[in-house]
Amino acid sequence: MTDGYTDELLTSSCFLAEYLLENLGPLLFAIYINDLPKVLRNTTVTLFADDTAIYCSSQSARDLQTMLNQDLDRLAQWLYEHKLTLNISKSKFMLIGGPRKLNTLEEFTLIIKEKELDRVNSFKYLGVIINENLTWTDHVDYIKTKVSQRLGVLQRIKHLMPRNTRELFVKAMVLPILDYADVTWGDKSNTTLMNKIQLLQNKAAKLILDMPKHSSATEALDLLGWDTLEKRRRSHRLFLVFKSLNGLIDWNFNFNHFKDMHDYNTRFNNNICKPQSKRTWGQHRFVCHAVDDWNALPDGIRNISDFSVFRRLVKNM
């Protein structure tokens, strides 16, 4: 074997190893941990890349603690057998419930590998901040901080940019933050919280147009041809329902039409049944808002099968 051939072989091997790490690494890892949910008996597991969420529910805090600790023991054993390590310092747990029940809760301890997990009141999961009361105050505060920083940058440099460049800046650096996962945290019933977000869009529009701070926000949005964030959230919910009903996304919300629930005809036959909830706050789930929005659409729009046509008609409403 010549030196030249050996060098070529080594170079090819290094390239192949680098390719596998960059392109197959995440896929191989996902395959490697794919059987984890089968090991845990008491809890549900959500896997997303190297982010793993384990959760379960119970009326009894003691039962909940027992079930979780049992599955954490199983998780520790599974990790040992698969030669994987857990970063315990980054592993947290959160109890979700009403403020009164959480405030009266006795000591709650979760242990894995003989180490206690830290309890938190909120945490960020896949870019959305969830808190222990399932309100969106923390996430809205996070959005306000992030967007305000970027609008502050625009405020300082806007005199160097023409209007179209300012608008491009906002569309690229601000609107994606305001839109991200808005079907989840956009709460139609909490107008006070949603108005805090709307003020950010209003400020962005005025900065683009170089309008005074106390000028009309409605006028600024109209001049730019922008929908309010409330209307954007409504559109996004409708797009989600359309994709679910037409099999364009894997997630199935188990939507049922009224016509599937009985044999007789009514004028509501093409409506979707709203999911039932035992408590009032259950009706504030985004899926309930989405069903309300969908049922308010004219039949002509609901019966469209082409998403691009549906999208255009909804945006023009």
pLDDT tens-digit map of 230-287: 999 999 999 999 998 888 887 766 776 654 444 444 455 678 888 777 777 677 788 8
Q: Identify the three-state secondary structure at position 46.
A: strand
Tokens, residue 296: 């308010």
Cα–Cα–Cα angle for 239, 240, 246, rounded to 5 degrees: 90
Are 181 and 127 spatial neighbours (Cβ–Cβ below 8 Å)? yes
- E strands, the chain, are 44-48, 51-55, 92-93, 111-112, 115-116, 118-119, 122-125, 128-131
Q: What pLDDT sits at residue 269?
A: 62
pLDDT score recorded for residue 268 = 57
Name the β-bridge partners of 119: 93
**Residue 49 half-sphere exposure toward CB, CA atoms < 13 A:** 6
What whole-number distance in Å separates Cα of residue 295 and Cα of residue 258? 11
Per-residue pLDDT of 183-202, as tens digits, reads 999 887 788 999 999 999 99
Closest among 276, 281, 155 to 213, alpha carbons compared: 155
pLDDT of 23-51, one tens digit each?
A: 556 777 778 888 899 999 999 998 887 78
Quickly list DSSP for 130-141. EETT--SHHHHH
- In degrees and rounded to multiples of 5, residue 210 shows phi and psi of 60, 40
Position of tokens 């996430």?
Answer: 139
CA distance 169 to 154: 8
C-alpha–C-alpha distance, residues 59 and 136, integer Å: 24
Residue 154, CA atoms < 13 Å, CB-side half-sphere:
28
Interval 54-107: pLDDT, tens: 999 888 889 999 999 999 999 999 999 988 888 888 899 999 888 888 888 878
Query: Which of 108, 115, 126 is CA-nearest to residue 91?
Result: 115
